[in-house]
Structure 1
């Protein structure tokens, strides 16, 4: 889980793009830089736009956790906009 402080310097997105709700498989191209959480086991990775998500063998799940699928948890504003 990503942790943060309650600090007014942080911006809240009021109209998030589709990248927040989409899920991405192992080795797919990262659409936006950020912290992504595996929906099955809750492990997180930091990934840069244009790179690939970790491959399938990055970590293994128990059968009950389902497939490895990454979903954006924190967007990192690397463009300064």
Structure 2
């Protein structure tokens, strides 16, 4: 689970971007922290960079494939 120290740096948001799951090896639509919904492993990634491939980290037998879901979005000021 993503951790933080200062609650002033994070904000609850119900954007649909947090509901989507992403296949390994596709471009990250947002910069932030992505969680493997199968095993809970997390990665930080820049927008447009490629999410780690299927063999990025091992799953215990029977868990299933890697699926990435946005957990924390890095908001950019425009």
* TM-score normalised per structure 2: 0.84
CA 1:43 to 1:11, structure 2 compared with 1: closer, same or farther past 3 Å? Answer: closer
Structural mapping, 1:7-26, within 5 Å: 7=7, 9-14=8-13, 16-26=14-24
2:9 and 2:54 map into 1 onto residues whose CA distance is 33
Q: Does 1:80 align with 2:77?
A: yes
Instruction: Report the counterpart of residue 3 of structure 2 in structure 1.
Output: 3
Any idea what the Cα deviations from partners look like across 1:29-78, whole Å, max 9, x if unmatched? 1000000000111110011111110011111212332210000111112x
Conserved in 1, the CA contact under 8 Å of 2:54 and 2:65? no
2:70 and 2:41 map into 1 onto residues whose CA distance is 12
Between Structure 1 and Structure 2, how many residues are aligned? 78
1:76 and 1:20 map into 2 onto residues whose CA distance is 12
1:47 and 1:11 map into 2 onto residues whose CA distance is 17
SS of 2:72's partner is: strand
1:63 and 1:22 map into 2 onto residues whose CA distance is 25
